[in-house]
A and B are shown apart, each in its own frame.
Chain A
Amino acid sequence: GAVVSQHPSRVICKSGTSVKIECRSLDFQATTMFWYRQFPKQSLMLMATSNEGSKATYEQGVEKDKFLINHASLTLSTLTVTSAHPEDSSFYICSARDSGLAGGRGHNEQFFGPGTRLTVL
């Protein structure tokens, strides 16, 4: 099955620093990746859609200057939390859609990474 990895799995940083989270599709190409945020005991909230070679599309209420997304290759998207503050502490999850399934039944399925737990002190 399709595998998506995230790195790091856990990060603790000081307030005001920036943190980069990587999302990789290991055995397929993904022109589209998605970034979600999950607060404790809550559901996943879509933050942005990451498109290879173009700008990300952010959901309403998500600050694009704070959550920088780069999708420079077909297998890698990065999320950088700039000037992190304690309220940014959360579980960040990425997912990827298999470009090779475009037009087919499986095209809309998203494969999820294991998540990154960010704690800002």
Chain B
Amino acid sequence: AQSVSQHNHHVILSEAASLELGCNYSYGGTVNLFWYVQYPGQHLQLLLKYFSGDPLVKGIKGFEAEFIKSKFSFNLRKPSVQWSDTAEYFCAVIRMDSSYKLIFGSGTRLLVRP
């Protein structure tokens, strides 16, 4: 079955700690990859996206993600988190050979303690 997997459902970190959230997908063809963030009570916002080219993608607020095609992964990283990064993070994938439907992972709830 087509799927997007986020391994960590809940992550708790202290401020200044480094963050890495895992994301794997199960499609073999060409994909577009996204990370979205949903702050408490707010709507989804795009953090970063990968379409093609450099597999290391930099996004807003100091986030970056690396596309590793051989591992079907698109992990999200931030070297030093802040309290304001407390939110839910969603990885999402579009298969380029389908109807461009965006398939979401189950989400990772991040809590950053001050």
Interface of A with B (CB < 8 Å)?
Answer: 32, 34, 41-46, 49, 57, 93, 95, 97, 105, 108-110, 112-115
Docked pose: A52 CA to B9 CA in angstroms: 36
Contact check: which of B46, B49, B106 meets A42 at CB < 8 Å?
A: B106
In chain B, residues 45-66, which have Cβ atoms closer than 8 Å to a Cβ of chain A? 45-46, 49, 51-52
- Known A43-B104, A95-B102; 12 more pairs at CB < 8 Å: A34-B101, A42-B107, A43-B105, A43-B107, A44-B90, A46-B103, A93-B44, A97-B100, A108-B94, A109-B49, A112-B44, A114-B43
Q: Whole-angstrom distance from the CB of A64 to the nearest CB of chain B?
A: 16
CB neighbours (8 Å) of A93 from chain B are 43-44
Main secondary structure of the interface of A (DSSP, over half): strand
Q: Which A-B residue pairs are the 7 nearest by beta carbons?
A: A114-B43, A112-B44, A43-B104, A44-B104, A43-B106, A108-B32, A43-B107
Closest chain B residue to A113 by CB distance? B43
Interface of B with A (CB < 8 Å)?
Answer: 32, 34, 36, 42-46, 49, 51-52, 90, 94, 96, 99-107, 109
CB neighbours (8 Å) of B46 from chain A are 109
Contact check: which of B43, B100, B103 meets A108 at CB < 8 Å?
A: B100
Q: Whole-angstrom distance from the CB of B2 to the nearest CB of chain A?
A: 12
Q: Whole-angstrom distance from the CB of A27 to the nearest CB of chain B?
A: 16
Closest chain B residue to A34 by CB distance? B102
Closest chain A residue to B51 by CB distance? A105
Closest chain B residue to A44 by CB distance? B104
Q: Is the CB of A110 within 8 A of B102?
A: yes
Docked pose: A105 CA to B51 CA in angstroms: 7
Docked pose: A99 CA to B46 CA in angstroms: 18
CB neighbours (8 Å) of B101 from chain A are 34, 46, 49
Closest chain A residue to B42 by CB distance? A114
CB neighbours (8 Å) of A43 from chain B are 90, 104-107
